[in-house]
Amino acid sequence: MTDYNAMADEEFRLMLREFIEREYPPELRNITRRARRGEMKGWWGKLHARGWIAPNWPVEWGGMALDAGKTVIYLDELDRHGVARAPDQGITQVGPLIMRFGTEAQKGHYLPRTLSGEYIWCQGYSEPNSGSDLASLQTSAVLDGDHFVVNGQKIWTSLADDSTHCYVLVRTDRQAKKQQGISFLLVDLATPGLTIRPIVNLAGHGEFCQVFYDDVRVPRENLVGKLNEGWTVAKALLGFERLGIGSPRRPQYALRRLEDLARAKGLLDDAGFADRYTALKLDIEDGAALYRRFVEQVKRGEALGPDVSMLKIWTMETWQRITDLLIEAGAEDGVIAGVREVAGVETDFLNPFYYARPSTIYGGSSEIQRNVLSRYVLNLPS
């Protein structure tokens, strides 16, 4: 097994780049929507065959065991080539949680099937009245013999209609304080009683879903961690999720699209536009420096603290400002849906704008993140 962490960074980067440029389907480069399972199946298979599908997993479970620095290079190369995000929540989220909190039986069953792509996961957290205040969730799970009986509704479940399994937070003790009465379940989406309804987003894509649970029977053995301690399991994920969401890759990509258009139209010769563009470029550099700081913290084996919330705020709000300026730069073409050729440059103006809008909501809204920073970092009163 190759020790990728022992390789020089540039050697590792060039190895990835050569493989990606040779093997990744050209028709899926730089698509402006979430890719579907069927579209990514061939690419997933190629990565899996090389042992490259799970950069963050240990070798014993088929991963690359990359340290934080090599992981950043891995992600940078995917982004540089415009590789679409695969349905990877099993790899990035629930897989590591099963390794940490799951039973040996759960590890032996779920991890290999997740790695191969047989099991595709979605996240069942948010509810119609429990989004940023996730601990107020009401979907219930009542023990009945060897099964939990689950009733309730989840919403904004990304690609649930394209998934086979869901990891779900449910309330198992209504008398306990809200964080203390939650459990973490693994649910097969083929279980009777489940109804999935896609939601069309602003860009016209069916990326999100509502998921209804009506007397859905989930085996007790699908409980991850201890009963009523699912908040501990879920919380272990949140810091790393905010690190991933806070990566500078999305605003960097949007800025490149803006720069290409601006150069073609001569907008950078305008002092006012150039000032706004430069300010955004510097904002990205600031965010990237902050991101590297947290990456180094993870690399040292240190837990991420509540201050990681500022990374998501800064990165996502910068992304929104870039897409705002992209539409302005497009002038009359900037408000027309689809790819437009402007000054010889093909640009999609509205899709990036639409996708940036909810970025300050999902993964914990900017308002909630600011509350976290004020309370737990600055020690301000509630």
Chain segment 52-66, per-residue pLDDT in tens = 999 989 999 999 999
3-state secondary structure of 346: strand
CATH number of 246-377: 1.20.140.10
> Given the structure tokens 């309370």, which residue do they identify?
375
Q: Ramachandran region of residue 119, left (φ > 0), alpha (ψ -120 to 50) or beta?
A: beta
Mean pLDDT throughout 78-104? 90
What mean pLDDT value characterizes the chain?
Answer: 90
> Given the structure tokens 């007397």, which residue do they identify?
215
CA-based radius of gyration for the chain: 21
What is the distance, to the nearest Å, from the Cα of residue 117 to the centroid of all Cα atoms in its chain? 17
Residue 5 pLDDT > 90, yes or no?
A: yes
Residue 277 pLDDT > 90, yes or no?
A: yes
What ranges do the domains of the chain cover?
4-86, 121-228, 246-377
Per residue in 20-31, pLDDT (tens digit) is 999 999 999 877
> Can you read off the two tokens belonging to residue 35?
């890719």
Mean pLDDT throughout 253-261? 90
Residue 143 pLDDT > 90, yes or no?
A: yes
* Residue 30: closest CA among 83, 74, 94: 83
Residue 241 pLDDT > 70, yes or no?
A: no
Per residue in 361-377, pLDDT (tens digit) is 877 789 988 998 999 99
Q: What confidence score (pLDDT) does residue 240 get? A: 62
Q: What confidence score (pLDDT) does residue 247 get? A: 82
Per residue in 321-341, pLDDT (tens digit) is 999 999 999 999 888 888 888
Higher model confidence: residue 141 or residue 83? 141
Report the catalytic residues.
241
Third-level CATH fold of 121-228: Butyryl-CoA Dehydrogenase, subunit A; domain 2 (2.40.110)
Question: Which of the residue ranges 123-137, 217-231, 346-360 has the most confident prediction, judged by mean pLDDT?
Answer: 217-231
> Given the structure tokens 């599908």, which residue do they identify?
53
Q: What confidence score (pLDDT) does residue 299 get? A: 67
Q: What confidence score (pLDDT) does residue 82 get? A: 84
246-377 and 121-228 share a CATH fold: no
> Can you read off the two tokens belonging to residue 365?
């809204």
Per residue in 158-208, pLDDT (tens digit) is 899 999 999 999 999 988 887 889 999 999 999 999 999 999 877 777 788
Residue 67 pLDDT > 90, yes or no?
A: no
Q: Alpha helices, DSSP H only, in the chain?
A: 9-23, 37-50, 68-80, 89, 95-101, 104-116, 230-245, 249-265, 271-299, 309-330, 350-356, 366-372
Residue 303 pLDDT > 90, yes or no?
A: no
